[in-house]
Amino acid sequence: MNFRKNVSTLKLPHYKSTASIEPVRIPIPQEVLLPMSPMNKHGATNAEPVVQAGDHVYVGQMVGREKDRGSAHVHASVSGTVKAVEEYRMNGARALAVRIESDGKQEPSPDLRIPQPTNLDEFLQCVRDSGVVGLGGAAYPVWAKLSAAQKSHIQTVLINGAECEPFITSDHRAMLEHGDLIEKGIELLKQFLGSEEFIIGIEKNKPDAIAALKQRFVNDPAVKVMELGSVYPQGAKQVLLYNATGKVVEKGQRLASLGVIIINVSSLIKMAEYFVTGMPMVERIITVDGSAVKEPKNLIVPIGISVKDLLPYCGGLKEEPGKILFGGAMMGKTQESLDAVILKATNAVVIMDRKDAKATEPSPCIHCGRCVAICPLSLNPTAFDRAMQLEDDEQRAALLTDAQVKVCMECGCCSYVCPSHRPLAATNSAALSFMRSWERAKKEGGK
Amino acid sequence: MDRPIMSAGPHIHSGASGRRIMLDVILALLPAAVAGVVLFGLQALWIMLTCVICCVASEFLFNLCARRKQSVGDLSAVVTGLLLALNLSTKVPLWQCAVGSVFAIVLVKCAFGGMGHNFANPAITARVFMLMAFTSTVAGGAIPAAVDAVSSATPLDLIGVEGAGLPTIGQMFLGLRGGAIGETCILALLVGFAYLLLRRVIHWQTPVIFIGTVFVCYLIATGSFSTALYEVLAGGLVLGAVFMATDYTTTPITAEGRMLFALGCGLITFVIRRFCVLPEGVSYSILCMNILAPWLERWTRRKPLGGV
């Protein structure tokens, strides 16, 4: 049975006070630290450093080379001297990182050329050279995503400008300021992927961006600017796909097999920028907000700058940080200290004061059904919660499989609405990693 | 200096709490409680106080003896006590009320693990237990002080008895009839229902489907609109449908499951009232459906987006 028309229904407070403020380019910091991982998540594959301490580097020069489809090239975001290649710890994962001391000149690499691809393969190679990854959070290299076009025809490109997370306005600002690059990006995809339909999905809490893009593409019938409801998680892959096209990626299917790819609007802009300037991804717009930040705003910062170094441009902090988040208030990842550095996929830094950061003690589930009603994927989070309380691994795995935990995308709606303050989303992640190790153990045991 | 907190998302919360939900239910029950005191006199108040105090005290003592974390602060014991009292008439002696309260909290709720773990509604199960243990006082209802000439039996006992002096539909709506403390004043119950809807504590579907099913069944069985309406206003139907069939813990977690639950309650109530010797069927119907709830939950599972 499915009575539901709209899959996402959660109305969140927006906290998007920075939406009306133009991003400010900050002066180049004295040093940057460039981790070989594009994101702050355990399990992402890393690039390999190709410079050594003492080397001189230019802006846009490659300092880390990709190892496989999951990693992306890393380029120097400042010109100067490599101080060290060291280990950087992020959320339990470790990655090598290149520390560069800026010489203040910001000299671009003399090797940079404006790319002139003539076919799909060359185009993909150029995107690969740009080092652009999915900037919505997943940080999957954009070229790898686009390479689906080598196998199947991509009829529709869904451009994700939903930006449903509270606090974040970096995509919003990018859409307002880089309409020309969105146009350029669409031209490139039309030319090389042969896609016929482009849907730019934007939540209706960004009427200025919707109006500006509608105006820009008024004469292009292939581009449709779609106004989406301001409901979380509107920007999640499965939700956006369903709400924008009515399609669903069924179990075992890939998005590309439906003839669709979804690309974050900022990723598209960064990709297009490379084809205009020849400069790989070395900087980005980020939103700096949260109750502990004195002057929340959007900044244009070099990749690899530490939070500490960018805070002075937001008026500093009101008090000691209670919680430091990379990303929004729903799916953002907590950071250990202000020394954490901005990565390619870091779209926001949210620093909460101690009062906001404090969590409420969970109490037993009262079976109210709010999590079941709100889950955009129609899962039952209480079933995962119950399963994780079981001691027996076999039983637990059976229950989790039955409840289809693998469908969960960890959006956090269940935790948000739970009156018993149960950490359902965290339990779901734990359940997902339990299932991964369980299956691995089973596979090995079977051999 | 404290280190920043490390935790999994989400990092904001809706602000909903179990305690607030329970408080809302208590507030929604207040009109019916006040109406009960107005209609049946101060004895109604003593019964309510006895039940609430005994429920809270027995939960407190149980937690103490079982070395469980103290849970009386969640207010759910207050709700159980109040609901049980509203389901009893002023004929019931206070000591029986106390026994019923202890039964509800200790045997039906705490023995199964406390809030959220009981499979049957504590107030309803206690009422059914009392109906069997103390049949002479619990069966039937007391007569409101404001009513003089109506017979001592409740309207449900009288339906079908030739020439019995039944209260009018208007009197039924205001509660001028025999019955339990909180079940007679339909107006007060509807005010509580509206409040719960406004606070989004419950959905409209369960009460409306439950009451609607009873109404439609009677309409078909008797062909009389007024009889069907009378049946809906009589007994504990509105109280049960609004406050007991919407209990979170003992009903299915899915929206569709809850609709089936309400439908089942309505059908069983109709069958008991019409074809069994018992005059009232609301409590039994909810109790039966409580047992079926886990199955309804399974049968109404949705296919997840991207799942099977």
Using an 8 Å CB-CB cutoff, list chain B residues near A329: 9-12
Does the predicted interface ipTM exceed a cut of 0.85?
yes
Give the residue among A57, A68, A243, A51 at the shortest CA–CA distance from A140: A68
Asked if B15 reaches chain A (Cβ–Cβ under 8 Å), the answer is no
Low-confidence winner among A84-98, A301-315, A360-374, A408-422 (lowest mean pLDDT): A84-98
Question: pTM for the full model?
Answer: 0.91
Distance between first and last Cα of chain A: 40
pLDDT at A129 exceeding the cut of 90 = yes
Please tell me which of the candidates B1, B12, B254 has its beta carbon nearest to residue A372: B254
Cα–Cα distances in angstroms (integers) from residue A372 to residues A187, A311, A396, in the given order: 42, 40, 20
Whether the per-residue pLDDT at A102 is higher than 90: the answer is yes
pLDDT at B9 over 90: no
Q: Cβ–Cβ of B74/A363 closer than 8 Å?
A: yes
| Per-residue pLDDT at A4 exceeds 80 | no
Residue at B112 is within a domain: yes
Q: In the structure, what pLDDT confidence band is assigned to residue A192 with cuts at 50, 70 and 90?
A: very high
Residue A32 in tokens: 């940057």
Q: Which of residues 106-135 of A touch B (CB under 8 A)?
A: none
Position B5 in a domain: no
Sort strands A223-228 and A260-264 into parallel, antiparallel or unpaired. unpaired
B307, part of any domain? no
pLDDT band at B145 (very low <50, low <70, confident <90, very high): low
Query: Cα–Cα distance between A200 and B13 in angstroms, integer?
Result: 30
Contacts of B11 in chain A (CB under 8 A): 323, 325, 329-330, 332, 334, 350, 352, 357
Q: How far is B30 from chain A (nearest CA, A)?
A: 22
**CATH code: domain of residue B185:** 1.10.3430
Instruction: State which residues form the domain around B170.
Output: 19-145+154-298
Task: Give the pLDDT mean for A326-345.
Answer: 92
Nearest to A368 by CA among B251, B199, B79: B251
- B113 domain-assigned: yes
Q: Each residue of A340-359: pLDDT tens digit?
A: 999 999 999 999 999 999 88
Compute the distance between CA of residue A301 and CA of residue A282 in angstroms, rounded to an integer. Answer: 9
* Mean pLDDT of the region B11-24: 95
Q: Is residue B237 part of a domain?
A: yes
Q: Which residues of B touch A333 (CB under 8 A)?
A: 9
**How many structural domains are present in chain B?**
1
B2·A380 Cβ contact <8 A:
no
Our CA-based measurement puts residue A120 at a distance from the nearest CA of chain B, in whole angstroms, of 30
Check if B9 contacts A (Cβ < 8 Å). yes
CB contacts, 8 Å: B13 with chain A: 360, 415-416, 421
Give the tokens for residue B274. Answer: 């019409």
Among A104, A35, A22, A103, CA closest to A75: A35
Q: What percent of chain A has pLDDT over 70?
A: 96
φ, ψ of residue B204 to 5 degrees: the values are: -70, -20
Can you tell me the mean pLDDT for B168-191?
A: 91
Cα B308 to Cα B298: distance, rounded to the nearest angstrom? 14
pLDDT at position B149 is: 41
Mean pLDDT lowest for which of B19-23, B24-28, B158-162?
B158-162
For residue B251, the chain A residue with the least C-alpha distance is A367
Which chain B residues touch A419 with a CB distance below 8 Å?
A: 16-18, 20-21
Q: Is A2 on the interface with B (CB under 8 A)?
A: yes
Q: Within 10 A of A336 (CB to CB), how many other CB atoms are there?
A: 13
**Does A245 contact B at CB distance below 8 Å?**
no
As annotated, the residues of chain A forming the CATH 3.40.50.11540 domain(s) are 120-277
Report the share of chain A in percent with pLDDT over 90. 76
| Local confidence band at A175 (pLDDT 50, 70, 90 cut-offs) | very high
Average pLDDT over residues B265-273: 95
User: May I ask the CATH class of domain A120-277?
Assistant: alpha beta
- Contacts of residue A276, defined as CB under 8 A and 6 or more positions apart, other chains included, come to A114, A181, A184
Average pLDDT over residues A37-51: 73
pLDDT at A359: 85
What gap in Å lies between CA B273 and CA B275, rounded to an integer?
Answer: 6
Q: How confident is the model at residue A44 (pLDDT cuts 50, 70, 90)?
A: low
pLDDT digits (tens, 9 = 90+) for B190-209: 999 999 999 999 999 999 99
Q: Which residues of A touch B17 (CB under 8 A)?
A: 360, 419-421
Does a cis peptide bond (omega within 30 degrees of 0) precede residue A23? no
CA distance B203 to chain A (A): 11
Residue B173 token pair: 């709506």
